[in-house]
Amino acid sequence: MSTKKRVTFGSKLGVVLATVGCAVGLGNIWRFPYMTGANGGAAFLLIYFVCIICLGLPVMITEFFIGRKSRRNAAGAFKVMAPGTKWSLIGYNGVFAAFFILGFYNVVAGWTLEYIYQALTNSLSGKSAEEFQRDFTLFSSGIFRPIFWTVLFGVMTHVIIVSGVKKGIERASKIMMPLLFLFLVILCVRSVTLPDASKGLEFLFKPDFSKINSSVVLSAMGQAFFSLSIGMGCLITYSSYFGKDTNLQKTALEVTILDTLVAILAGVMIFPAVFSFGIEPTAGPELVFITLPNVFNQLPMGGLWSLIFFILLGVAALTSTISLHEVATAYVHEEYHMLRSRAALWVSVGVLILGVFSSLSMGILKEYTIFGLTFFDFLDYITAKIMLPLGGMMICIYVGFRVDRKILKAELTNEGTTPFYFFNTYAFFMKYIAPIAIGLIFLNELGLIKIIQGFFE
């Protein structure tokens, strides 16, 4: 495929917003609070920040480099840049990760549709915290209802993917993202003015270092990768649609800052309410869904608030599922020369099958576990904690050791027209710090470091 024919995003703002749309989603508003809650609060947050700066940012810039340089999908990019080598395995890892992530992401996105429905039928108001919890469990462990919403969400994603890249993604992001941001700010204000809110803020911002262990570190790294949409070629695919004059370093910085800001806002919105309503911060995947309705009930016209909020959350999820779907679709479409619409159909069918099983694993299939995890948790674990960091590590190793530094610098500075002041720092982190840190975190989690230590004692 020639470079000229490939569609690109329409405007500079479009580039940033579409990429923010990809990064900001359930990962920030659903996954971040529950991971923070399950991993002890502020100490987790601190490690998360370190991962964002030291690993996330360098990996993101590197993905942008690969994508815009090659102008191909995640797997095809490596075929162009390193023909005849095994580096394209990075792309395949990404394509599989896209399937697996969508396999559980659609389920949670489906939950937002249920809450939109409940807000419309006014069934969220007047309930106690216990009732919200009970009703959520009842709903999510059911059979037809959650599957119905999962499938519906999958179909919505499918339709947008088939209707084309620019129209669908760009338009949705431009309006909804700023609106979601505004809503989060207002909900934060409501949450921090609840009784006992300070306990929640303390939980989120006052680190207890005794809570840190290898699994907390792995979770924080996984969350950083998941939230920034890095490590699986999603941003390779997106940046392949960037224009020649897009400032890659600046875009990476802006996306990272906005994504992190949204996660922090979500934390400030959730934790004061968690403590105020006596909910367990360790509740897991349901945390946001059992906490937020309580906050809405404290607002005048609570039903309307929950309606608008869950619509915005649904759209944020949609801009993320689109990006994930795009990775797999672009791959099948370009590498197998299949019609785009047919490629999308295959991807959607595969994703929906996974979605049905992961939804059922919240209820009747709960007992069927893989390595002690339900199917839903398993998909989450292998993607966020293994495939994404592994992909990120390989991306850094490839560019760090196989790509000429001059070519890298030329692309990242738009042929020298936009200066990159911290280029050497970036290159050092990308080539050495990120791969070594990710490797060590893996070894640590596997318990191998302890074994090696024991060997020397």
Applying CB under 6 A, which residues contact ligand TRP?
Answer: 22-23, 25-28, 101, 226-227, 229, 232, 234, 320, 323-324, 388
Beta carbon of residue 58, minimum distance to ligand TRP (angstroms, whole number)? 16
Write down the least CB distance from residue 23 to ligand TRP, Å: 5
Q: How far, in Å, CA of 415 to CA of 194, rounded?
A: 53
Is residue 408 a contact partner of residue 415, using CB atoms and an 8 Å limit?
no
SS (H, E, C) 100-116: HHHHHHHHHHHHHHHHH
- Contact, 369 vs 114, CB < 8 A? no
Q: How far is the CB of 295 from ligand TRP (least distance, A)?
A: 21
Give the CA distances from residue 319 to residues 177, 310, 339, in Å, rounded to whole numbers and listed in that order. Answer: 9, 14, 22
- As measured in angstroms, the least distance from the Cβ of 99 to ligand TRP is 12
CA distance 314 to 255: 20
- 249 vs 319, beta carbon nearer ligand TRP: 319
19: which residues sit within 8 A by CB, 6+ positions away? Answer: 235, 238, 251, 255
CB 141 within 8 A of CB 367: no
Nearest distance from residue 229's CB to ligand TRP, in Å? 3
What is the nearest approach in angstroms of ligand TRP to the Cβ of residue 22?
Answer: 5
> What's the rounded Cα separation, in Å, for the pair 338 and 331?
10
Q: Which residue is nearest to ligand TRP (CB)?
A: 27
Q: How many CB atoms lie within 10 A of CB 342?
A: 14
Using the minimum distance from each CB to ligand TRP, give the nearer residue, 112 or 227: 227
Q: Tell me whether residue 32 or residue 420 sits nearer to ligand TRP (CB atom).
A: 32
Residue closer to ligand TRP, measured from CB, 49 or 428 = 49
Partners of 370 in the β-ladder:
373
CB of 227 to ligand TRP, least distance (A): 5
* Of 166 and 190, CB closest to ligand TRP: 166
DSSP string, 168-186: IIIHHHHHHHHHHHHHHHH
Q: Smallest Cα–Cα separation from 187: which of 131, 243, 115, 267? A: 267
Nearer to ligand TRP among residue 320 and residue 374 (C-beta): 320
Name the nearest CA neighbour of 272 among 285, 281, 263: 281
Nearer to ligand TRP by Cβ, of 22 and 204: the residue is 22
Whole-angstrom distance, CA of residue 248 vs CA of residue 53: 16
Q: Report H helices in 336-404.
A: 340-360, 375-380, 388-402
CB of 409 to ligand TRP, least distance (A): 26
Q: Report yes or no: 154 and 354 within 8 Å, Cβ to Cβ.
A: no
Which residue number, 302 or 314, has a Cβ lying nearer to ligand TRP?
314
User: Least distance to ligand TRP from the beta carbon of 51, Å?
Assistant: 14
Cα 456 from Cα 427, distance rounded (Å)? 33
Residue among 221 and 427 whose Cβ is closer to ligand TRP: 221
